């Protein structure tokens, strides 16, 4: 029996990148996976196919995590398909990199809504389930909360808030056997990062020079970490922010 075969997992923002890799890793460990997406239905469908073609269980459910009604629909879809949700990966996120002098109320609100409010709503939805006996919540943060790089002020602030929520939620939900942890990835070669034109630049080379393991991260670096935190192997870990960054900090 695979170590997650009794789990139903929701992975938010799982149509591509880190979220897709985590969804596939959980599926390979036996979890029934709800691949949540906001806009990229084709990407979510591709992730579902990759899981099911290997004998796993998965469905795609659309929803904007910053909207309460959407979160309720995603959880209802998960329950209808597979039962109560016992693994939640809050991966959906928005990142805007710009000087503080260029930041606007609109960019701040967009990142707060997805990076902070979204995980709060999904954690509330998981905790509202009365028929679960323990669960694991994994929030995807960033190593930028340790390094605090220039031009990432708003993004790092929202992810710092997410890490604070992680620790507080672990304290509040621990008596119910619900563990809450966060993963803090370093810069990663995803579709979004490539779209920004970061790969191959002096900025990437500087990042690699500051990474003891000597490379940029890949989405597949984080799937096994999430699968571990979702499993009973991590049963004594909660309220932690795990720096998964090749040593960059």
Query: Which sequence positions are flagged as catalytic?
Result: 155
Which residue is listed with tokens 């049963």?
235
87: which 2 tokens?
Answer: 């693994």
Residue 158 dihedral angles phi and psi, to the nearest 5°: -70, -35
Q: What is the rounded CA–CA span in Å between residue 70 and residue 63?
A: 5
Torsions phi, psi of 19, nearest 5? -60, -45
Cα separation of 204 and 150, whole Å? 14
Contacts of residue 25, Cβ cutoff 8 Å, sequence gap at least 6:
220, 223, 224, 226, 227
- CA pair distance 86, 175, nearest whole angstrom: 15
């Amino acid at each position: 029996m695979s170590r997650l075969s009794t789990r139903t997992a929701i992975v938010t923002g799982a149509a591509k990148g880190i979220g897709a890799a985590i969804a596939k890793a959980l599926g390979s460990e036996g979890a029934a996976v709800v691949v949540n997406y906001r806009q990229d239905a084709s990407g979510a469908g591709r992730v579902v196919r990759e899981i099911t073609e290997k004998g796993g269980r998965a469905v795609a459910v659309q929803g904007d995590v910053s909207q309460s009604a959407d979160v309720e629909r995603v959880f209802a879809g998960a329950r209808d398909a597979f039962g109560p949700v016992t693994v939640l990966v809050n991966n959906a996120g928005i990142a805007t990199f710009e000087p503080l002098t260029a930041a606007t109320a609109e960019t701040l609100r967009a990142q707060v809504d997805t990076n902070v409010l979204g995980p709060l709503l999904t954690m509330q939805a998981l905790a509202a389930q009365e028929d679960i006996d323990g669960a694991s919540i994994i929030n995807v943060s960033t190593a930028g909360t340790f390094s605090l790089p220039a031009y990432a002020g708003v993004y790092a602030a929202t992810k710092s808030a997410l890490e604070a929520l992680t620790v507080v939620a672990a304290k509040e939900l621990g008596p119910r056997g619900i563990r809450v942890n966060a993963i803090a990835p370093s810069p990663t070669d995803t579709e979004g990062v490539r779209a920004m034109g970061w790969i191959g630049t002096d900025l990437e080379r500087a990042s690699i020079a500051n990474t003891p393991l000597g490379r940029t991260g890949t989405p597949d670096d984080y799937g096994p970490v999430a699968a571990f935190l979702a499993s009973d192997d991590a049963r004594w870990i909660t309220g932690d922010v795990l720096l998964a960054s090749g040593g960059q900090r």
